[in-house]
Amino acid sequence: MTKKIAVLPGDGIGIEIVAQAVKVLECLNSDFGLNAEMEQGLVGGSAYDETGSPLPEATLKLAKEADAVLLGAVGGYKWESLDISVRPEKGLLGLRSELELFANLRPAILYPQLAHASTLKPEVVSGLDIMIVRELTGGIYFGQPRGVRELENGEKQGFNTLIYKESEIERIAHVAFETAMKRDKRLCSVDKANVLECTELWREVVERVSKDYPEVELSHMYVDNAAMQLVRAPKQFDVMVTTNMFGDILSDCAAMLTGSIGMLPSASMDKNQKGMYEPIHGSAPDIAGQDIANPLATILSVAMMLRYSLDAEELAVKVEKAVDDVLNQNLRTEDIYTQGDTKVGTSAMGDAVVAALKS
């Protein structure tokens, strides 16, 4: 059966890294029996330039009709002064919310070949394998009321609302426990229950859901401590589950433990295994168009897509193996390069992965 993939490169390096992932998908189509149809759409700043909206109707329709979405990255200096309602990031947030992609899976895995690329000591990070499960369609990112208002004395006041319903906490907790069941069966729920009522409820609901998963060892941690523990002794964690904003922050922190944010994929899932797959890094406008960005996170996002949305575990493993192969060949983009490696550009890295797939 043909699967439909909506391909949304976005802005900045999104364009060049997604092109490499498309090469990989084309190779899987031609040589490995994947039957995927790809259609491109505009999102982010490039969409705004062309249509006046960071998430045009046509793109939303394409994404809604697809079995999976492959996204590059959005944003750039050029659009930073736009009104917040039409900024590139709104395109991404709109996709997450319109497609109800409430569960964001962000693995932080250290490739042994890159142990020296981490800023932490090798013994602290070697063997690192964490999965962060971030709630993605609620919390302070979407809570109402929000805005900037003027007080009676003329002073401005900005405000956002941290808000979660029990049902929203329950569904993300279930995803986290299910994820833990497939791994080391340890789940750490991160909150700020000592200060924020909303996350006090979070803790209570996660505790309740845990009754359905007696095999999973559940712990709770305040977010400030979790940030510290992530850099102090990251290997204590297996799966972490947390709110939208805490997950945004902790996942960048966890990513850096692995040496390069350019290596990490992510999946944002709805309740039916439909997902949007994207590297966890941003659009890096400072290096866009120079053929130096690392396409491996996007290629690894394709692997996640094959596994979770396209029911093609075998091909997912093949893609991951191909990435492992190119690292073993010492091929490195600039972000993961150290002396003695062979430095390659974005496109050459994509070609190398395709060659490894075919070999």
89 touches, from Mg ion, ligand IPM, none (C-beta below 5 to 8 Å by class) = ligand IPM
325 touches, from Mg ion, ligand IPM, none (C-beta below 5 to 8 Å by class) = none
12 touches, from ligand IPM, Mg ion, none (C-beta below 5 to 8 Å by class) = none
> Shortest Cβ distance from residue 267 to ligand IPM (Å)?
12
Determine the residue with CB nearest ligand IPM.
Answer: 89
> Shortest Cβ distance from residue 104 to ligand IPM (Å)?
8
275 touches, from ligand IPM, Mg ion, none (C-beta below 5 to 8 Å by class) = none
Whose CA is closest to 144, among 164, 168, 119?
164
- Prior bond to 88 cis, omega within 30? no
DSSP string, 69-117: EEEEE---GGGTTS-GGGSHHHHHHHHHHHTT--EEEEEEE--GGGGGG
Are 73 and 47 in contact by the 8 Å Cβ rule? The answer is: no
Residue type, 307: R
- CB of 67 or CB of 248, closer to Mg ion: 248
Alpha helices per DSSP H over the chain: 14-32, 45-51, 57-65, 88-98, 122-125, 166-181, 197-210, 223-232, 244-257, 296-308, 313-328, 346-358
CA angle 97, 98, 100 (to 5 degrees): 60
CA distance 298 to 8: 12
Whose CA is closest to 14, among 353, 244, 294?
294
> Shortest Cβ distance from residue 252 to Mg ion (Å)?
5
CA distance 172 to 290: 39
> Shortest Cβ distance from residue 73 to ligand IPM (Å)?
8
- CB of 75 or CB of 234, closer to ligand IPM: 75
Determine the residue with CB nearest Mg ion.
Answer: 248
- CB of 89 or CB of 204, closer to ligand IPM: 89
> Shortest Cβ distance from residue 60 to ligand IPM (Å)?
17
CA distance 56 to 157: 31
Q: Which residues are catalytic?
A: 141, 192, 224, 248, 252
Whose CA is closest to 229, among 257, 203, 194?
257
- CB of 33 or CB of 147, closer to ligand IPM: 147
List residues near ligand IPM by CB under 6 A. Answer: 75, 89, 92-93, 248
- CB of 74 or CB of 125, closer to ligand IPM: 74
